[in-house]
Chains A and B, each alone.
Chain A
């Protein structure tokens, strides 16, 4: 057990390094690429304003000073004011975070709830139409762009059939399409991996033993085989979280879902740069954190996993 806590510590340090690199990358891109003043000043600024801002923002100082100040600002969460609303940029993002979380978590849950049974069924009924359908689904999931899938679903279920609303929040019917769109790609990957994991496991000795003992087939599958088949799925869960977070940017735009992703795009379009910066930083940090958690939980599930270089 002690090993585990050492692992937590090491992984935390690793994640911190990654976040630091991301922060530095954002700094580099904003200060050193292009003209930082046009980016950091509101569009309505006059020449005199810009000149003043240059001094205030310390853009005439040597880079390492700017960097130190930037790091300190980030640590104290002093990340600027939105040009559009005048509110602190952090608040703008914080307000929208729950909506994005609601969408992401629903999407991931949906992906697992759809993908795992589909994969299991496909493995058990290998060679049949069901298997073929599942494999087709898995294949298409990799090739279909999520924004197009979302629009097609809206076309079908909202415009042509009128069953579901086209966007916005407000209850389960508003959540279904966005969550499904967001989770579809992950669902396809999970189906594929569950299926192949099951196929791998079903030929194993311990499964034959369980069957020889006379256990009902369902018990064999669920209690013995499934746990092993799910290993590769847990491994990719971390990547899926990253993909889902990245996907919220697109899906929220398509469905007008009031979350962080949509804010990011709106802020780009309205040149509200401080909000863009905060949004990017927060999303990246969230992804790093999620990866870390999944990695650590994987060690808990499979004690055989050792630290490797």
Chain B
């Protein structure tokens, strides 16, 4: 008899995918028709802005983010007294342009998201499928790893890695992927265990279909919805983790303009330059929030129980 490890049962489901309860599902059903259609447009616009800024920063940023000009230090944003359009969002303590640095910071966040989320998805789904469909041993090992993952928050592991290897983008990616794949694996395993007994799978096995065929044609398509929603919500978490690690100095090196390092750098000047801390933080909150809301919307859209309301 194994004691229900309720913490791991609800662990990442809460931290990442925040399952909707019956009450919330019913609420969503009722308000589905009243849902404002422009919400999705707003989310898409913000995400496009984020991706665009990150992708094209070297091309469209007005200044080099590392260009120091001490004469220009601590200029406020354009809407405050002393601000100018030359530096619309102000400058930092070394005279570097905030707007450009924010765009390059978006680039860092984008890189982290673009690498770590797909990597976690692939790794987690593969192992989850293996654990759920074929190997009980892998399944048991997986559950142990879930426990470990709960005990070792990414920050702790990042600190350990940074102590040994020094802070770097690579460390951030290792930590986030190493921590994130377990959540996917756990849920994929659970769903696979259920799907395995469904009629269409049994029928396929009866006519002699091989495992790879079944996975490709029957299991994966049914998993895509869940995994996609998880991934969208994971994006939000990833951005927050990278920012926190960089803020502490165990993420990207301090010299790299990431939103996290910008906040930690600006912290020394909050009495005279509030924008140095506020603006990067707002960027983090906005992108994280929009990714979250988008994930919620996606979950509603893909939920078959609500389909009849469209």
Contact = CB atoms under 8 A, between A and B. Distances in A.
A18 B144 contact: yes
Nearest to B27: A199
Given A34-B164, A298-B6, A145 B248 contact: no
A92 to B, nearest CB: 15
Interface string A272-309: 01001101100111011001001100110000011111
B3 A295 contact: yes
A284 B153 CA distance: 8
A152 B155 contact: no
Which of B150, B236, B285 lies at the interface centre, i.e. has the most chain A CB atoms within 10 A of its CB?
B150
A193 B160 CA distance: 33
Contact of B150 (A26, A242, A250): A242
Given A14-B5, A196-B21, A143 B285 contact: yes
A10 B21 contact: no
A155 B274 contact: yes
Contacts of A6: 1
A33 B278 contact: no
The 6 closest A-B pairs by CB, nearest first: A199-B23, A246-B153, A148-B281, A143-B289, A238-B7, A143-B288
B161 interface: yes
B286 to A, nearest CB: 8
A242 B244 contact: no
A280 to B, nearest CB: 5
A139 interface: yes
A197 B21 contact: yes
Contact of A239 (B3, B147, B150): B150
B22 interface: yes
Most interface-central of A148, A265, A305 (chain B CB within 10 A): A148
Given A197-B21, A249-B248, A151 B263 contact: yes
B292 interface: yes
Contacts of A139: 289, 292-293
A18 B148 contact: yes
B250 interface: yes
Given A142-B292, A145-B244, A200-B23, A236 B10 contact: yes
A140 interface: yes
Pick the most buried of A7, A14, A147: most chain B CB atoms within 10 A of its CB.
A147
Interface in B251-297: 263-264, 267, 270-271, 274, 277-278, 281, 284-285, 288-289, 292-293
B21 A268 contact: no
B285 A305 contact: no
Nearest to A199: B23
Contact of A280 (B4, B147, B159, B284): B159
A147 B150 contact: no
Contact of A268 (B18, B23, B152, B159): B159
B3 A152 contact: no
B144 A21 contact: yes
A154 interface: yes
A147 B6 contact: no
A271 B165 CA distance: 11
A253 interface: yes
B76 interface: no
Interface residues of A, number: 78
A37 B9 CA distance: 40
Contact of A253 (B9, B162, B248): B248
A244 B116 CA distance: 24
B14 A147 contact: no
A146 interface: yes
A247 to B, nearest CB: 8
Contacts of B267: 151, 254
Contact of A295 (B7, B20, B264, B274): B7
Nearest to A250: B244
A234 to B, nearest CB: 9
A11 interface: yes
A238 B6 contact: yes
A168 interface: no
A288 to B, nearest CB: 5
Contact of B151 (A145, A189, A287, A294): A287
Contacts of B240: 143, 145
A238 B161 CA distance: 25
A114 interface: no
A124 interface: no
B215 interface: no
Contacts of B41: none
A239 B285 contact: no
A39 B164 CA distance: 6
Interface in B10-54: 10-11, 14-15, 18, 20-24, 27
Contacts of A249: 155-156, 159, 248
11 contacts: A25-B152, A139-B289, A143-B288, A144-B288, A145-B244, A145-B288, A203-B23, A236-B14, A239-B7, A277-B160, A308-B2
Nearest to B26: A199
Given A250-B248, A276-B159, A291 B2 contact: no
B144 A239 contact: no
A308 B1 CA distance: 7
A190 B4 CA distance: 22
